[in-house]
Each structure stands twice: as structure tokens, then as C-alpha cells.
């Protein structure tokens, strides 16, 4: 699909050209990558937030398991002393 833009600030275009040149890519390749990144950014953010939530849940579950293991160790220690 093609996109045509008009009346872009010349200073902005110069900066875009400089960035593209530093990356050794064309202006079109650079702008295409930016447009595609913006298009998928919210989807990526949602995935990252979900992953962070899952990690948080796993950390909480592990902390609970550690507490239970500590309780079991204490109980076994008490039983072995009797």
C-alpha cells in the first residue's frame, strides 16, 4: 500500500534524511519502518503488559511456595526432635 504525504516541514525531512543516512537506509525504508512500528506498538505494549502480569503472578506463587517449604522444614525439624 502506498502513502503520500504533502507539506512536511523541510527541517523535519532533513532530520529524517540524516537519520536514514546514518542507518544506511533510504528515506522510504526508514519511514516505512516507523509507520509499521507505530501500527504494532499498542499490540506489543499489550503483550508486554500481559507478560509482566504473568511474571508478577509467578513471583507471588513462588514466594508462597517458599513460605510453605519453610513451614514444612520447621515442622520436620520439630518432629525429628521429638
Length of the chain: 82
Element (H, E) at 44: helix 27-81
- Tell me what the pLDDT averaged over the chain comes to: 94
Query: For residue 29, is pLDDT > 90?
Result: yes
- Residue 1 falls inside a structural domain: no
Question: How many domains does one find in the chain?
Answer: 1
Q: Is 29 within 8 Å of 20 (Cβ atoms)?
A: yes
- Residue 53 falls inside a structural domain: yes
Cell representation of residue 39:
501500527
- Residue 4 falls inside a structural domain: no
pLDDT (average), residues 54-74: 97
What is the pTM for the complete model shown? 0.54
Residue numbers of the domain that contains 51: 10-81
Of 3, 28, 2, 27, the closest CA to residue 15 belongs to 27
- Residue 75 falls inside a structural domain: yes
- Residue 3 falls inside a structural domain: no
Predicted confidence at residue 64, as pLDDT, reads: 97
- pLDDT tens sequence across 9-24: 999 999 999 999 999 9
Amino acid at each position: 500500500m502506498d502513502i503520500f504525504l504533502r507539506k512536511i516541514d523541510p527541517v523535519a525531512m532533513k532530520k529524517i534524511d540524516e537519520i536514514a543516512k546514518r542507518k544506511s537506509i533510504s528515506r522510504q525504508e526508514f519511514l516505512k519502518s516507523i509507520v509499521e512500528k507505530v501500527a504494532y506498538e499498542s499490540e506489543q505494549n499489550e503483550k508486554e503488559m500481559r507478560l509482566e502480569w504473568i511474571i508478577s503472578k509467578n513471583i507471588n506463587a513462588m514466594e508462597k511456595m517458599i513460605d510453605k517449604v519453610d513451614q514444612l522444614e520447621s515442622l520436620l525439624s520439630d518432629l525429628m526432635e521429638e
